[in-house]
């Protein structure tokens, strides 16, 4: 299998099956006839020939071109043919279902079929959580038929998708999708809280709070579980739905119930907090120079870089910061990814290329057929080769884990901190014809040394706890620019100790 190469334009492509074309139509007839390639489980071509139908609606999606054509009040009839480059398909499938007389529900039926087809083509689990996915379409369509509102019909799609048992495969409505896109742009109105679904339980866990945000000022911490919003229990909700509920007009308030992530056998802390909504500025990166004395008494300058989220500008912002720190004469770096919940995975790959040379493998992907594909750099040139330590913890997820794994497994960085979150799934995001979006888990990530990330996390080279700290505070030179918070951070002192060791080994060699 040829590797996937990345050039300096940072365009990343994942391996996909051939693009397919779907044409769905309906007319007055008692059957829906669908043909599928059972080997690949992919709908390839659907064609129509109805004279009684409404106008054709043509859509673009990850499958290629989708054409839906419904006659309201009829029984849907369609032929779905598979046409890879191979000469024939193996089997055919015939199902039938009624088309709703409600225009609202009729529109959602189209969304249902579009989502069902995307999942059928690409979902990572070929058993679809040990269920017949073709029958699931027919069952959901029948359940949807007597409904009269789009919301009720939309809930049926969500139920179908949730039956896959993967909290990261989900469908969100147009408004939620707009909020999702805002999250990577940099400005929003809300409470400054990042929430992620815990991979094994689906619980909504706080992974970080924006500094000086309403959530941070209220004492909400990473690891806390979000239980209710405005009195509504959050069981089964996606992180995007929760984000929408937390956001709102600046000046309004939202009441949340949180369960402390630091319970003991003797105490449990669940509390309600009224949070004011404010304008939240997501500044993805901050930096400082930390002077300190090395064991041999020399003064060393360490560049500290905190990356809080992988936004669209993360790599370009990081590049500027590294150049600024190089101009200030730093001799080593600490990259802080603690409580970074991830974001744009491509941004994580872009950041990795700022620290590596050559054609290193940044990450592997493995699909549902267990094919493994490397994603490689092409003729990379690192900005700096100074020693690097990366700080991680249980709040470091997704793109943070990919970046940490890429730099660690390629011998570029030492990891200090705690085991990471363990989100190593790849989601394709497809905007559907009605403005909603479907997230589908299509593959998993492996680190360059092919270590599992999903539900496992990355274990650092050096565990960081206050009890393990064995570096005298006198070794830290006070610097107002670094700030008392950095000076008192035990993990930063451990990182400095590791950097001293790297530089000492480099001098000896």
Would you place residue 97 in the very low, low, confident or very high pLDDT band (cuts 50, 70, 90)?
A: low
Would you place residue 100 in the very low, low, confident or very high pLDDT band (cuts 50, 70, 90)?
A: confident
Provide the H-helix boundaries in 10-132.
Answer: 103-122
Element (H, E) at 45: strand 45-47
Quickly list DSSP for 411-455.
Answer: TS-EEEES------EEEEEEE-TTS-EEEEEEEEEE-TT--B-TT
Task: Kindly report, residue by residue over 18-32, the tens digit of the pLDDT.
Answer: 333 333 333 222 232
**Prediction pTM value:** 0.65
d(CA 419, CA 411): 18
pLDDT at 164 over 70: yes
Residues serving a catalytic function are 398, 423
Lowest mean pLDDT among 1-5, 13-17, 258-262, 470-474: 13-17
Q: Which residue(s) pair with 4 in the sheet? A: 375
- The encoded tokens of residue 297 equal 């008494």
- The encoded tokens of residue 240 equal 């995007």
Asked if residues 59 and 65 have their Cβ atoms less than 8 Å apart, the reply is yes
Provide the H-helix boundaries in 301-398.
Answer: 314-327, 345-353
What pLDDT does 485 receive?
Answer: 55
- Averaged over 48-62, what is the pLDDT? 31
- Averaged over 397-405, what is the pLDDT? 96
Higher-pLDDT residue of 77 and 140 is: 140
Task: Kindly report, residue by residue over 309-335, the tens digit of the pLDDT.
Answer: 898 889 999 999 999 999 999 999 999
Asked if residues 281 and 187 have their Cβ atoms less than 8 Å apart, the reply is yes
d(CA 177, CA 241): 9
d(CA 438, CA 199): 18
Q: What residues have CB less than 8 Å from 427, skipping those under 6 apart?
A: 168, 169, 439, 440, 441, 442
Q: Where are the beta strands (DSSP E) in 212-328?
A: 225-229, 232-233, 253-259, 270-276, 278-281, 285-293, 299-307
Q: What residues have CB less than 8 Å from 393, skipping those under 6 apart?
A: 222, 338, 339, 417, 418, 420
């Amino acid at each position: 299998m040829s590797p996937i190469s990345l050039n300096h334009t940072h365009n990343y492509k994942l391996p996909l099956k051939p693009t397919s074309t779907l044409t769905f139509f309906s007319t007055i007839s008692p059957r829906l006839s669908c043909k599928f390639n059972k080997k690949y489980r992919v709908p390839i071509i659907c064609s129509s020939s109805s004279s009684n139908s409404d106008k054709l609606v043509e859509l673009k999606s990850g499958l290629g071109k989708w054409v839906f054509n419904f006659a309201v009040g009829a029984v849907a009839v369609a032929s779905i043919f598979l046409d890879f480059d191979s000469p024939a398909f193996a089997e055919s499938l015939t199902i039938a279902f009624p088309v709703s007389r409600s225009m609202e529900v009729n529109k959602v039926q189209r969304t249902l079929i579009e989502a069902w087809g995307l999942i059928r083509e690409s979902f990572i689990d070929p058993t679809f959580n040990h269920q017949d996915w073709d029958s699931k379409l027919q069952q959901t369509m029948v359940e949807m038929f007597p409904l009269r509102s789009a919301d009720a019909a939309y809930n049926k799609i969500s139920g179908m998708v949730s039956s896959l048992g993967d909290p990261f495969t989900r469908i969100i409505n147009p408004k939620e999708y707009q909020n999702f896109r805002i999250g990577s742009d940099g400005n929003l109105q809300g409470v400054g809280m990042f929430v992620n679904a815990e991979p094994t339980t689906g619980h909504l866990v706080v992974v970080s709070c924006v500094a000086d945000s309403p959530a941070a000022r209220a004492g909400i911490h990473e690891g806390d579980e979000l239980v209710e919003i405005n009195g509504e229990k959050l069981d089964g909700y996606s992180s995007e739905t929760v984000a929408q509920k937390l956001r709102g007009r600046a000046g309004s308030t939202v009441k949340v119930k949180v369960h402390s992530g630091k319970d003991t056998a003797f105490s449990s802390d669940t509390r309600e907090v009224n949070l004011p909504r404010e304008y939240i500025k997501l500044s993805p990166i901050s930096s400082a120079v930390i002077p300190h004395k090395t064991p041999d008494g020399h003064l060393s300058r360490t560049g500290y870089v905190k990356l809080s989220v992988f936004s669209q500008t993360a790599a370009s912002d990081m590049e500027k910061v590294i150049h600024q720190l190089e101009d200030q004469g730093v001799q080593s770096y600490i990259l802080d990814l603690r409580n970074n919940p991830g974001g744009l995975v491509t941004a994580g790959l872009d950041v990795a290329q700022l620290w590596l040379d050559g054609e290193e493998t940044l990450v592997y992907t493995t699909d549902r057929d267990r094919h493994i594909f490397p994603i490689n750099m092409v003729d990379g040139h690192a900005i700096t080769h100074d020693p690097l330590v990366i700080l991680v913890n249980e709040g470091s997820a997704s793109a943070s884990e990919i970046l940490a794994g890429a730099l660690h497994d390629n011998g570029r960085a030492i990891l200090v901190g705690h085991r990471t979150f363990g989100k190593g799934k790849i989601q394709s995001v497809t905007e559907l014809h009605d403005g909603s979006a479907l997230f589908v888990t299509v593959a998993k990530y492996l680190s360059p040394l092919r270590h599992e990330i999903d539900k496992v996390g990355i274990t650092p080279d050096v565990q960081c706890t206050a009890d393990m700290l064995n570096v005298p505070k006198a070794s830290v030179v006070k610097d107002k620019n670094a700030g008392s918070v950095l000076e008192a951070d035990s993990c930063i002192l451990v990182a400095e100790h590791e950097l001293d060791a790297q530089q000492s080994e480099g001098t000896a060699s």
